[in-house]
Amino acid sequence: METNKQDTSMEHEGQPEETSPAGDGQESVPAPEAADHDSIEAAEPNSETVEQDPEEEKAFLLDQLQRAHAELANFRRRTLEDQSTQRLRTTVSVVRSFLPVLDGLEAAVKAGTDEGGDEAIREGLAMIAERVDSVLKDLKVEKIDSKGEDFNPELHEAMLQVDQPDARQGEIVEEVEKGYRCGDLLVRAARVVVARGSESAE
């Protein structure tokens, strides 16, 4: 009888003990719910760092507003400059086409004075010429100084060169046709006669 009890105990010792699935030598894997919870907790600090500080956002918006204001001011300035330049060019174009009429008017006044024509007609033409000069002044159009001045190729057009011993080299001794300019723009170059000057002056 004792032998049977020992055999029975030996059978129990020879059988492997039942273990749980986590006790088979492998590491336990966390449940999906726990992994998701950890990832959410890890993402929370990053979301906090992305949020911009209210003061920094205010400074950024203020900087953008100042930039937009400066760009608008520059645009207005450029627009005004372009408009002013365009007006000046239009004035020059109109005056340039009108100058032959003024030349004829001045020639008529001079002819009437030289030939002793009708005084009333001469005075009427002179008044018209003065009125035209006044309009040109209002348009900022001015005559170019010529006679007695040194020849300037940017303002004068030499029609003829003459020997003039009592004049310096390049001096304008006669104005054939008046020149005009409007600001920095040349309306018409003055047509002039230029002296060669004496050899000693050279």
Helices 54-115 and 119-138, axial angle in degrees (round to 10): 170
Domain boundaries, the chain: 73-139, 143-202
Residues 108-151 pLDDT 10s? 877 766 665 577 777 888 888 888 888 888 888 999 999 999 99
Tokens of 104: 């004829």
Contacts of 179 (CB under 8 A, 6+ apart): 143, 144, 146, 155, 156, 157, 186, 187, 188, 189, 190, 191
Asked whether the beta carbons of 162 and 195 are under 8 A apart, the reply is yes
- 40: helix, strand or coil: helix
DSSP string, 166-196: TS-TTBEEEEEE--EEETTEEEEPEEEEEE-
Asked whether the beta carbons of 95 and 180 are under 8 A apart, the reply is yes
pLDDT at 144: 93
- 23: helix, strand or coil: helix
- 184: helix, strand or coil: coil
Of the candidates 173, 179, 178, which has an alpha carbon nearest to the alpha carbon of residue 193? Answer: 173
**What's the CATH architecture for 143-202?**
Roll (2.30)
Query: Which pTM value belongs to this model?
Result: 0.55
Res 171 pLDDT > 50: yes
